[in-house]
Each structure stands twice: as C-alpha cells, then as structure tokens.
Chains A and B, each alone.
Chain A
C-alpha cells in the first residue's frame, strides 16, 4: 500500500478509465474529484454507486467525462445536477441509465467472480429497452417466470473517502458497506482518508466489521474534510448551503467556471486539500 499526495494519486487515473464513485450521502470522494480536474483528467467513464451527485456533476462540467452509468444524477435537496442536465441535452456524454439495486447487483456479481446475476423487477421498464446488456431469461428452476439478468460490472477503479486508514492499507468505512462492494468489484481501489492511524485496524474487534481490508486497497491519500461538501458519518454533516451555492452557480457555464476557479483550481483551494 502506498500513501501519496492527493494530486499525485489523481494522476494514477488514466484517460478513458472506468471509475466507480459513491454519491454525496455515502462518503463521496469530492476532494479527489477536484484533484482529477486539476490534473486534467479526460474521457472518464463514471459509475454511480448506485447514484451520483456533486462529484459527478463537477467532473462533467469540467469536461473530464465521456460516459456516466448511474441510477440518477442529482443534488438531492439542492435540486437537479446542472452540468449533467446540460451535457445530456447537448448529447455531450453517453448515459447508461440504471436502477439502484441493479447497480449494486452488477458490482456484487463482479465481487463474486460470476459472469451475471439475476434480479427481480425491471420488466416493463424502458431501461431494459435501452440496455442491450441487460437480458431477460426464463427462470431455469421454474417455468413461466421471466427474470432479468445483469452482467457483472468490474470498474477499472473504485475511489471513495473514509475516516481512517492504517499503514497496512486497511480502511475504516463504518456502516458504508456499499464501499466494500465497490472495492471488491473494482480492479484497483484508491481511498482518501481524514487521517492515518497507528496500529492495525483489523486487530480491533469493534472496528474490524467496518474495515475494508488492505487486500483491496492499492493507495491512500490524506484529504481532510475530503467528502466536503458531502458529510462523513458522525465526523461532519453535509454542507447544505454550499450545495445550494454550487447549484446556483453551476446553472450557467460562466457561473460554473467561477466556481471552478474559486473552489477547485485556486492555489488556496488546492492547498486546503
């Protein structure tokens, strides 16, 4: 396991990579997304687990994204995701619409090393029409029971934020077990963390159930308040006012670029991360 500077870690993601990231309410890697923009990332194929928010919208607006696979892209209480909406209307990004349990299931299939996984529901949804990779089969165990099957999804990278890592690469994510499913599915996983702790997290029985083992983690960067403006467990709440400010500014291209200059590209913003 390597411990890198945040901007150095972002340079590990090559152009065109498929990167799975969590949404705003699930330890999102917002600081990492800002670092990707500073590093001039291009052609990313983002995977929302199972939906997407601020980080995805920011990366789309900055021209880093070619494709989004997600069950939704929104800023929740702060409304629709402005850059995403503009990019869809202009046909600038490829959108693979999905539904939340399907995103989880496709990653779980990859994590189990199986080629596909069945899922209930979805039959009759236009999602099926537009996802040729999602098929309908007859339940082989019971006649007359059509059921959807989904291919395993193994992203090139999974990236998320967490409270702490130890020097063995064990990362404590608490109740966010969906991050473990991401890490199990992805080829390579990076985490940003609030802090590096001494000792081994897996030796503490109270912490161990919330730990993703260093087996899965390739590199870590320290990013204090790295989920901001998202919140992180009981460490800090989300910054509702900042989400509203982002939503207001990103409504126009000019406003979005002012936001980028102030909160992403400015030396002070970068140094703060």
Chain B
C-alpha cells in the first residue's frame, strides 16, 4: 500500500487544505480546465467528508453544467461556489497571478494562453487555492509582469476571498491577505528550506517549525487508488492511466 507517488502526496496536501477545519466548509468545489491534481484532491475530499459537491467544467459524462459554459460564472457570481483553483504563468509574492505574458503587452517575450476566468473568479470565490507544479524562478517571481487577477484589493472593492495557499511541486505556502505575503509551511520530501528559497523569486516568511509535507494515510491512499481513480478516469483518462495504471486494469478486468 505504501510507496506514495509524488502526485498522491500533492493530492493529499491539497485535500488537507480543502478540509481545513479552520476555514469555511467547502460544500461546492469547482474545477476549471486541465486541472487533474486539484480535481483528484476534490474527489478525495468528497470521499472523506461526504457532503462535498465537485463540479468539473470539462466533465465528460453527467456534466453538471446544463446552462452552457457560462453557468460556472453565474454560480460563482451568486456565491454558489465555495472553493476554486487557480494557477499562473507567473505568481508573485503578493499573490498576483499573470496568465497574459511578459515583455511588451500582450506578450512579446513570453505569451501565456490568456487570463481565462481568473480576473473574476479570484475575487468572487470565497476560497482559492493556487496550484502550480513548476516551482522555479521564472514562475515564482518578485513581481508579475502583468496582473491577470490581483492577489489583494483595496478596501471598498467587492471581493469575497483571496488565495489561502499556494501548492507547488516542492512545497506548501499559506497566504495572508492582510500582509499580502506568503509563509512557507511545509516542504515535500527531498526538499529543504534552502532548496525552496533558491527556487523562489519572491520573499516570504518561514513557519517555525517548518514541517515536511505529510504523506496521505493508508486510508486516503486506498480511497485515491479506488473510488477517486475511478471518478477521474472518464474525464482525465491520460492522467488516471499514468498515475493509477493498476486501478485501471482492475476496473477493466
């Protein structure tokens, strides 16, 4: 049962954030395009907590959005989505994200795909978790070249929430909107305070004591390799096959 995969550790770390008892309960989690790790973490949270609705934008069978692709944003505008995931081509120490590019506008040096729903979702969802696997100086920058969506907003601007954490392939940070600053909370096995500092372009605080990102328990692992793998397979076939080939074989046998 052990031999935890790095993907499973990331999924477990995100699931712990989703289920954080200090935070408003996540009754409804939405998943945007191309986000298999956050999707798996949300399905795992559903297996554990029971009453978590997970709405995946690109779900292939039984997609919950029956009023068009704009329905996610209408649900969000009304406050019917509690938690959402965002990433960024660049993410800076104040929680700003850039999905536009660098160089001259709109991206003469590097062009990212575009802002998707971020300029709206970041401000309108009560809980946001930032997820970006690549943890490098080009992604985690002192200041983003362009702001697709701001990490914080001045008083008087309608905003329901902020990032509460940033999860990468190396570490987990928490975010304080009051101070517009990240704190390194845990490093994944194989990483250290120094290796994370060397790969991070922005300044941040370090929790005392600094933890190692915990592995998912055996109970969580069996949920991941069973019902979560099965829930993932129709919408994320490539990812499910890559991470849980045994589970795939078991189901098709």
Contact = CB atoms under 8 A, between A and B. Distances in A.
Contacts of B123: 120-124
A125 B73 CA distance: 17
A62 B21 CA distance: 53
B113 A72 contact: yes
Interface in B38-80: 58, 60, 63, 65-71, 73, 76-77
Given A124-B147, A144-B156, A146-B157, A101 B63 contact: no
A70 B158 CA distance: 25
B111 interface: yes
Contacts, number: 147
Q: Is the interface of A mostly helix, strand, loop or mixed?
A: mixed
B172 interface: no
Nearest to A237: B60
Contacts of B149: 121, 124-125
Contacts of B108: 88-89, 91
Contacts of B158: 120-121, 123, 145, 147
A123 B67 CA distance: 27
What class of interface size applies to chain A in its complex with B?
A: 35 or more
B106 A72 contact: no
A163 to B, nearest CB: 16
B107 A89 contact: yes
Interface residues of B, number: 48
Nearest to B155: A144
Given A89-B107, A130-B105, A72 B153 contact: no
A71 B77 contact: no
Interface string A124-142: 1111001000000000000
A41 to B, nearest CB: 23
B150 A71 contact: no
Contacts of B66: 175, 177
Interface of A: 25-26, 50-51, 70-74, 76-77, 80-81, 84-85, 88-89, 91, 95, 97-102, 104, 108, 119-127, 130, 144-147, 175-181, 237, 240
Given A72-B116, A120-B123, A122-B123, 5 more contacts: A88-B101, A89-B111, A124-B150, A175-B63, A177-B71
Interface of B: 33-34, 58, 60, 63, 65-71, 73, 76-77, 99-101, 105-109, 111-124, 146-150, 153-154, 156-158, 238
Q: Which 4 A-B pairs have the closest CB atoms?
A: A72-B114, A177-B68, A101-B73, A124-B150
